[in-house]
Amino acid sequence: MPLRIYLSNDTSARAAGAERLAEAWAREPELEVVRTSSRGAFFLEPLVERDTPEGRLLWPQARPDDLPRIRAGDGGVPLSRIPFLAEQQRAVFANFGTAEPLSLAHYQRHGGWRGSERAMGLSPEELISEMKRSGLRGRGGAAFPVWHKWDIARRTEADQKYVVANADEGDAGTYCDRMIMEGEPFRLIEGMLICAKAIGANRGYVYCRWEYPAAAMTMQRAVAEAERAGRLAVDGRPFRLEVFRGAGSYVCGEETALLSSLEGGRGMVKVRPPYPAVSGLYGKPTVVSNVLTFATVTEILARGADWHASLGTATSKGTIALQLGGRIKQPGLVEIPFGATLAEVLERFGGGMADGSRFKAVQVGGPLGSLFPESRLEIPLCFDAFNEAGAVLGHGGIVVFDKETDMVELARHYMTFTAEESCGKCTPCRIGSARGRELLERIEAGRGTAGDLALLADLGETMKATSLCAHGGRAPYPVLTALEHFRDEFTRRFSHGAVHPAHH
Amino acid sequence: MAPSIPLTINNRQIYADAGDTVYTAAANAGIAIPSLCASAQLSPYGSCRLCVCEIDGMKGLHASCSMPVRAGMTVRTESDQLTKHRRNLVELYLSERPAGQRLEQLADLAKAYGVTEVRYPPGAERAPIVDDSSPFFTFDNQRCISCARCVRACDEIQPAFAVSLVGAGFAVRPAWGAAGLDGGGGVASSTCVSCGACVKECPTGALTEKTILQEGPPTTFVRTTCAYCGVGCALEAGLRDGRVVSMTPADDGPANHGHACLKGRFGWTYNYAKDRITEPLLREGSSWKRAGWDEALDFIARSFSRLKDEAGPDAVAAISSSRGTNEENYLFGKFIRCVMGTNHIDNCARVCHSATVTGMMETFGASAATNSIRDLDAAKLILVAGANPTESHPVLGAKLLQLARRGVPLIVIDPRRTEIARAATVHLQLRPGTNVALLNGLGHVIAAEGLVDQAFVEARTEGFADWQSTVEEYPPDRVADLTGVPADAIRRAAVMYATSGASLSVHGLGMTEHRWGSHGVMALCNLALATGNVGRPGTGINPLRGQNNVQGASDSGCLPTHYVGYQRLNDPAVAARHQTITGRPLPSRRGMKIPDMWDAALEGRLKGLWIIGYDVAQTDPNLNKVRAALARLECLVVQDLFMSQTAKFAHVVLPGASFLEKDGTFTNLERRIQRIRKAVDPPNGILPDWQVVCEVSTRMGYPMRYGHPSEIMAEMAALSPMLAGVSYERLEQPAGLQWPVPDPQHPGTALMHEERFARGNGRFVAVDYLPPGEEPTPDYPFVLITGRLLEHYNCGAQTRRTDIIHLVDSDVLEVHPEDAARLGLRDGDLVRLVSARSSAVLPARASSRVRPGELFTTFHFPDSDVNSLLSSSADDSSKCPEYKVSTVRIERLDDDEELDPEDEAERRRVHSRLGMVP
């Protein structure tokens, strides 16, 4: 019997060298390399695993010449000895690391299709009440109650309804949707089938961002596999599912822009109401939800609403998938129940700051999220607390900045990002972000004045209050929180010109 | 229904309709909320954000333009924070414009919110891009605010999709043309149909009419009605220093709701054409003598008096203008009946919809649209039978395209693949001249499948059994052989028409201008009767009348068969009323129809003819015969704006006043009487046609004295029960009046035949298919269809004298690509079309709008002389000519063949337009 070893095929793992290992070992005799999903502990990649009678053993940061050690079983670490993984409470990502992305057999053996099979036996009303009891809220950023969206789509009469998975995961430092599509694509398909059953849809689309070629490819294959296996059906009618690739626009993560793009138009935001659940794709009722949301739906149907409702806080039920990045020791995916504090997560899972660096700020919720200084890290990770703080959990991205970071440059960078990704439809975002970027460029170049800061704040208030969508409405937050917590870095530029703060 | 949703805006309780947004509800209640991107014509968009408001119980601010009303909602549209944000938004708009540029509409907002300076440091400005490629308007990006009203107007109102947004973020802007993200060759290279909707919607003047850029913006407006097609668009003529400088569709226009087409919107500059006739001309041998009005009017009166005395009343006839007002038409009819003492009067309806008049009179008892344009919104299916509305009735065509986009099924019957046919659910592409067979085939399926509305048939109709046994002979397979339409398509269309719940038919000259045109119209009416699709909103038979007042010219009595209001000539009561009011007897013998007049002239029976505003020598069929007839007349009087082909034969030419230069009324294709108003003085003291008729009549011993056209309308109302309730006072309302208006309190009739048909019961008239007048032979293997283009109007006398000429400057022969290849024709090659009557030289172009073996062209340009090819074949009962079917052959012209100077000029023009090296 050849030795079976497991190696992730996830894009992050490949970037860390998994492909080099796979190539090096391709012609090794008596060796079977099984490509799997990733555990999301990217600081350990490339991570090689093998089965032992005591369970899996892991060889972190493996090199080609580690093969003899792995064959011999030398130096392998059991999962329980890696706190980053052992201390998580994984549900949606429970199979990550073992799941073989396109193996229907593996998926079935590890609980696959249980959720959708159960759903097919329930009525739409029962499904919606199941979602209501679970307390699931959308994971894309807006945190809208899933049951409510489904119920509106279900009640709206139409000859055609759609289910659309938002896989336009554009926030810098987020990757959990990509992991799902690359690692356990059937889980997403299942969630979409369950939704289709609940609302009465027979067509679905996965809107996958252009920058995720591997995810799109895997999804396409998974759809074909599922279809071949007769899984793409709702109430005996075929459910047609297609993977659609976006064209590289950040704002197409906004649901109405996404739908415009999917229809073949410019990816521009539309006014709401009507919401997509009433009038979405081609004017038909459409549920647009994030990939992680659908993946969670699958788990809720498999395990029951009560299981989900038992996790998390009063209004933030279930688990949150945090994606740690930036200047910390242990970047990677962390799935835990809602409610832990930001400080706790950074310390316990992030493992503290990377060697030689000191903490300065952390941004939660993507490029439109607020910055938190050290004094604000006790905030619990749940929707309400963030809402009260005027911040957002967004899609769970957490990026840590160290003392080397120039906050003026960072603020300018964010406003530049907003300006470059603005769809150009509404005035506060289209012109406001351009003016904001110019003000910050001026300050960065040492030509700013106190009046510029006041103008920036005034502009920020108007952008927040009047923008058509969250792109313009949230854009001021990173800038204004940088200004709030690190004001002296801005004022210092007035007289001294462009100086890197590390030189002080 | 009165608005019923209560809400509070700025502490005021108001009521809104279910579809209202906060913005529209406020506007209806007289509460103004600032906005630049909102438009009553367009769906909510949410670009400018100026309309934000506060709503109790809802976090944050909300754009009122996209917020639906909810019962009990409390809204504030003014507050300190709202003012602050609006101020900041206006400042942002100003910040993207180059310093020193005029602010135009933004200036009011800047003033209102106290934006005196832009606080931002100099930064990015809008790119200096100008699109000057349209003959009619200019786009200046630096005056634009990227609100996309132009894009939305083009998509939602016209649907032409000629303009879209390009660029990203700050640089987003509208662009026309199809060459990449930077925008392409501009308006001229796009699918723009020059309807001007984008220009009208533009809130900042970034899009402006060239006439306004040249002459300055209008200072006053005069409400009038378009003088092109029969849709009857309400227009606002913009005036400056006594000249028209713009023409804008009126939002409360009942037929057009703020939309127009390029002819109405930009095609009015012929009014100032250099070659307008400005004084009477008398023939002197082969040339003209300028004459004073008295001299000319005396000459006419003397000539007609002499002819009447010498040869009797039947020696003189009149052809009235379907372009003129109701009042002028009535008066012309009064002249021929009271002064000349005959009924020899006809109008252009003879050659377009006379078959409709006959067909609908026989079946319904009234010869006009049964329903109203607004009923298109109530229809669940629309049948477009032999009509090309996106070109010939563009505003109605745009409406149909809107409905098609909304999912309303369209069935189109047309031998050509027109724009509306491409938008159709089912296109029944039949052989020209086979309408009756096809319609009977539809009837066959309806009867055979049990889709007849039995209750309607029993309660409201007669003659059903006859019809049923006739259509029995038209099973789909046989009809497929006769018409070339697949049997499946016939079945599908029949079921759709019969089962939609409300099927509305519009038809055009493709139904009427045939050898058996009246039969076609009857076959169409039969279908409506069999399925109960008449007398209800969203149904009916609705002829699309071609000229602005072709309905009114017939209504006013310019028919040899009927008196004003379609009253019978032999009705003693009518005659008595006529005698009382006019003081003269009503001639009871039917007069001559236009084609009869040509025969009479050629035979020497007709000696005098007075034609107002109708170029028979270009637009009637079999031109050689028409010209010969005109040449034989002893006295031909022609009134026109320009020296038309017909005027060239005249003994007296009188200048005419345009629709912008006189008062009166037009009646549109939905029987709606609307005012036209004098906006400017005619040049050189030209008399309007009605005054000319009065002057001649008075000189012939029958004084006509009217101070104003309103007095003429009062007389028409007194004479005609159908118009009894019409008065200028009532016509002041924007909606005008739809006849019948039986008394002064009657609101007018939007829907006819509701309880009973005008003739009592609806009558099925069973008709059999008979072949067209000509069928292809080896000598003349092609079937020629004639029709119209969007850009030009009928004989082109007006449109050719506007900037429209820069879009289309020649008639073109459309040849199917297979035929073109077989004949070795390249686009732009001149060919000679030869019929048994005559020949004509035209440039050809390959086009799959026509089928193999069929050809299409227009007769907008006198040079091409297309109508000389046609025969005098006409519908038996109505004499409506068979414009739609003639057989011809195509002869190639060799490049070195010598042509006469006109054709040679044409060849050079076409070649230069196609960029071909001579």
**DSSP 8-state assignment for residue B353:** T
Neighbouring residues of B207: CB distance < 8 A, sequence distance ≥ 6: B137, B138, B139, B150, B198, B199
- B145: which chain A residues are within 8 Å (Cβ-Cβ)? 427
pLDDT tens, B389-448?
A: 999 999 999 999 999 999 999 999 999 999 999 999 999 999 999 999 999 999 999 999
Task: Measure Cα distances from B715 to B326, B333, B502, B861 in Å.
Answer: 12, 13, 39, 39
Helix (H) or strand (E) run with residue A56 in it: strand A55-59
Contact with chain B for residue A468, Cβ under 8 A:
yes
Which regions of B526-581 does DSSP assign to beta strands (E)? 540-543, 562-563, 567-568
- CA-nearest of A17, A2, A65, A13 to A40 is A13
Verify whether the Cβ–Cβ distance A466 to B89 is below 8 Å: yes
Quick one: DSSP state of residue B27?
Answer: H
Rounded CA gap, A493 and A490, in Å?
5
**What is the pLDDT, as a whole number, of residue B621?**
92
Helix (H/G/I), strand (E/B), else coil: B207: strand
The count of C-alpha atoms lying within 13 angstroms of the C-alpha of B739, restricted to the half-sphere facing its C-beta, is 29
Residues 154-213 of B with CB under 8 A from A: 164-165, 167-172
Token pair of A364 as six digits: 């939660």
The beta strand positions in B201-272, using DSSP E, are 207-209, 220-225, 234-240, 243-249
As given in the structure block, the two tokens for residue B59 are 């976090």
Inspect the interface and report whether the beta carbons of B148 and A425 lie closer than 8 Å.
yes
Mean pLDDT (chain B, rounded) = 94
Evaluate whether B37 touches A428 at the Cβ level (below 8 Å): no
| Sheet strands side by side (includes B243-249) | B220-225, B234-240, B243-249
| Alpha-carbon gap, residue A87 to B101, rounded angstroms | 65
User: Pseudo-torsion of CA B183, B189, B195, B198, nearest 10°?
Assistant: 10
Alpha carbons A256 and B880: distance in angstroms, whole number:
55
The pLDDT of A137-157, averaged and rounded, is: 96
Q: Per residue in A339-395, pLDDT tens?
A: 999 999 999 999 999 999 999 999 999 999 999 999 999 999 999 999 999 999 999
Instruction: Please give the Cα distance from B64 to B69 (Å, whole number).
Output: 9
- Give contacts of B47 with chain A, Cβ < 8 Å: 425-427, 468
Q: Residues near B312 by Cβ (< 8 Å), separated by ≥ 6?
A: none
pLDDT of residue A413: 96
What confidence score (pLDDT) does residue A496 get?
55
Closest-CA residue to B875 (of B433, B523, B573, B478): B433
Check whether A296 has a pLDDT greater than 60. yes
Q: What was the ipTM of the complex prediction?
A: 0.94
Residue A1: the pLDDT is 82
Please answer whether residues A164 and A288 qualify as being in contact, where contact means their C-beta atoms are separated by less than 8 angstroms.
yes
Question: Of residues A401 and B906, which shows the higher confidence score?
Answer: A401
Distance CA B532, CA B459 (A): 10
Q: Which residue in the set A271, A427, A434 is minimally distant from B66, CB to CB?
A: A271
Give how far B148 is from chain A: nearest CA, Å. 8
| Token code pair at residue B915 | 């960029």
Tallying the residues shown for chain B, one arrives at 918
Which residues of B, range 46-75, sit inside 8 Å of A by Cβ?
46-49, 52, 60-61, 63, 65-68
Question: Is B38 an 8 Å CB contact of chain A?
Answer: no
The CA distance from A418 to A6, in Å, is 41
> Are the beta carbons of A466 and B52 separated by less than 8 Å?
yes
Alpha carbons B558 and B567: distance in angstroms, whole number = 12
The two beta strands, A371-373 and A359-364, are antiparallel
List, for residues A209-248, the tens digit of each pLDDT value: 999 999 999 999 999 999 999 999 999 999 999 999 999 9
Which among A260, A425, A433, A442 is the top mutation candidate for probing chain B, defined by the most B β-carbons within 10 Å of its own β-carbon?
A425
- Residue numbers in A near B121 (CB within 8 A): 438-439, 442, 452
Q: What does the DSSP assignment read for B111-141?
A: HHTT--S--SPS-------EE--SSSEEEEG
- The reported pLDDT for the residue numbered B183 is 54
pLDDT digits (tens, 9 = 90+) for B307-351: 999 999 999 999 999 999 999 999 999 999 999 999 999 999 988
pLDDT for B907 = 65
Q: What is the DSSP letter of A468?
A: S
B115-138 mean pLDDT: 94
Q: Which residues of A touch B67 (CB under 8 A)?
A: 273
Q: Supply the pLDDT for residue B105.
A: 75
Amino acid letter for position A65: D
- Which residues neighbour B100 within 8 Å (Cβ) at sequence distance 6 or greater? none
Q: Map tokens 């089938």 to a residue.
A: A193
Structure tokens at B866: 């297309």
pLDDT in tens, A384-426: 999 999 999 999 999 999 999 999 999 999 999 999 999 999 9
Question: Using a CB-CB distance cutoff of 8 angstroms, which residues of chain B are in contact with residue A462?
Answer: 84-85, 88-89
Query: Using an 8 Å Cβ cutoff, are A437 and A415 in contact?
Result: yes
Interaxial angle between packed helices A185-199 and A213-228, expressed in degrees from 0 to 180 and rounded to the nearest 10: 60
pLDDT of residue A502: 40
H helices of A156-290, where? 176-183, 185-199, 213-228, 255-262
- Tokens representing B661 are 């230069």
Distances (CA, A) of A64 to A3, A47, A58, B768: 16, 12, 15, 90
CB count in 10 Å sphere of residue A181: 28
Q: From CA B351, how far away is CA B547, in angstroms rounded?
A: 11
Residue B381 bridge partners (DSSP): B503
**Closest in B60, B120, B170 to A424, CB measured:** B170
Q: Is B121's CB within 8 Å of A271's CB?
A: no
Whether A273 has its CB under 8 Å from any CB of chain B: the answer is yes
- CB-CB neighbors (< 8 A) of B89 in chain A: 427-428, 462, 466
- Cβ of A341 under 8 Å from any chain B Cβ? no
Contact B119 A455 (CB under 8 A): yes
Q: Which residue of B has its CA nearest to A418?
A: B169
How near does any CA of chain B get to the CA of A273, in Å? 7
Average pLDDT over residues B237-244: 97
Other CB atoms within 10 A of residue B727 CB:
16
First CA to last CA distance, chain A: 63
Are residues B644 and B797 in contact, defined by beta-carbon separation less than 8 angstroms? yes
CA of A284 vs chain B CAs: smallest distance (Å): 12
pLDDT tens digits, one per residue of B611-656:
999 999 999 999 999 999 999 999 999 999 999 999 999 999 999 9
B461-462 and B762-763 beta bridge pairing: parallel
Inspect the interface and report whether the beta carbons of B146 and A439 lie closer than 8 Å. Answer: no
Torsion of CA B440, B445, B450, B451, to 10 degrees: -70
What is the bridge-based pairing of β-strands B281-284 and B243-249? unpaired
pLDDT value of position B909: 66
The pLDDT assigned to B184 comes to 63
- Name residues whose C-beta falls within 8 Å of residue B811's C-beta, 6 or more positions apart in sequence: B842, B857, B858, B859, B860, B861, B863, B864, B866
Distance CA A95, CA B48 (A): 48
Measure in Å the smallest separation between the Cα of B502 and chain A Cα atoms: 21
Tokens (6 digits) for A164: 């659309």
Q: Looking at chain B, which residue has its C-alpha nearest residue A468?
A: B46
* Residue owning tokens 């020209």: B432
**Max intra-chain CA distance, chain A:** 75
Alpha-carbon separation of residue A241 from A192, A193, B549 (angstroms): 9, 9, 56
Q: Using CB atoms, which residue from B84, B92, B167 is nearest to A427?
A: B92
Q: What is the mean pLDDT of residues B860-870?
A: 91
Closest CA to A96 of A267, A289, A323: A323
CB pairs under 8 A between A and B: 109
Pick the closest to residue A175 from A75, A64, A321 (CA basis): A321
pLDDT digits (tens, 9 = 90+) for B672-698: 999 999 999 999 999 999 999 999 999
For residue B434, what are its two tokens?
């086979």
pLDDT confidence band for B104 (50 / 70 / 90): confident
CA–CA distance, B624 with B616 (Å, rounded to integer)? 11
Residue B689, both tokens: 């046609």
CA distance B419 to chain A (A): 23
The mean of the pLDDT values for chain A is 95
The Cα A207–Cα A259 span in angstroms is 9
Do the chains contact at B85 and A466, CB–CB below 8 Å?
yes
Type of residue numbered B464: F
Tell me, what DSSP letter sits at residue B430? P
Contact yes or no for B164 and A266 at CB 8 A:
yes
Which SS3 state, helix, strand or coil, does residue A50 take?
Answer: strand
**Contact across the interface for B123 and A431, Cβ inside 8 Å:** no
CB contact under 8 A, B47 and A467: no
B59, closest residue in chain A (CA to CA): A465
Residues 228-267 of A with CB under 8 A from B: 266
Position A270, amino acid: K
Whether residue A458 lies within 8 A of chain B, CB to CB, comes out as yes
Contact B169 A272 (CB under 8 A): no
Show the tokens assigned to A21: 């290992």
pLDDT score, position B912: 57
Nearest in space to B787 (alpha carbons), one of B883, B869, B880: B883
Query: Which residues make beta-bridge pairs with B61?
Result: B54
